[in-house]
Amino acid sequence: MAIRRDVPERGPERLGEILSRLFAARGWGRRQGRLHLEKAWAEAAGPEFAAHSRPAALRRGVLEVIVDNAVLLQELAHFHKRRLLEQLRRQLPGTPLTDLRFRAGVLE
């Protein structure tokens, strides 16, 4: 009986590779990233602003933040945007963050 040499033998897999596939299949990596983003926002915004806002989406380097109060939205956009963006960039060094956009909405 001949042994097939063209099929490589599969040995034990690395645990990191197995966990990576599992995280991707279950969507856990996205949830972890989301929690990390929410924590960074809460720290940058502080308790007063964080209670009335939350990060909604990060697309192409732009973080969209939902704010439940129109007056606070204006304050964040005009007076705190630069500071918040700088703090978020420091807290999320591996995340490309180019801008913040604020929009009115209902917090869930």
Q: What is the pLDDT of residues 24-68, one digit of tens each?
A: 666 555 667 788 899 999 999 999 999 999 999 999 999 999 999
- In the sheet that holds 53-59, the strands lie side by side as 53-59, 62-67, 99-104
Q: What CA–CA distance (Å, rounded) separates 79 from 61?
A: 21
As given in the structure block, the two tokens for residue 36 are 């990390």
- Domains of the chain (ranges, CATH numbers): 15-104 (3.30.300.180)
**Tokens describing residue 75:** 């304050």
Determine contact, residues 65/38, Cβ cutoff 8 Å.
no
Range scoring the smallest mean pLDDT among 11-15, 29-33, 72-76: 29-33
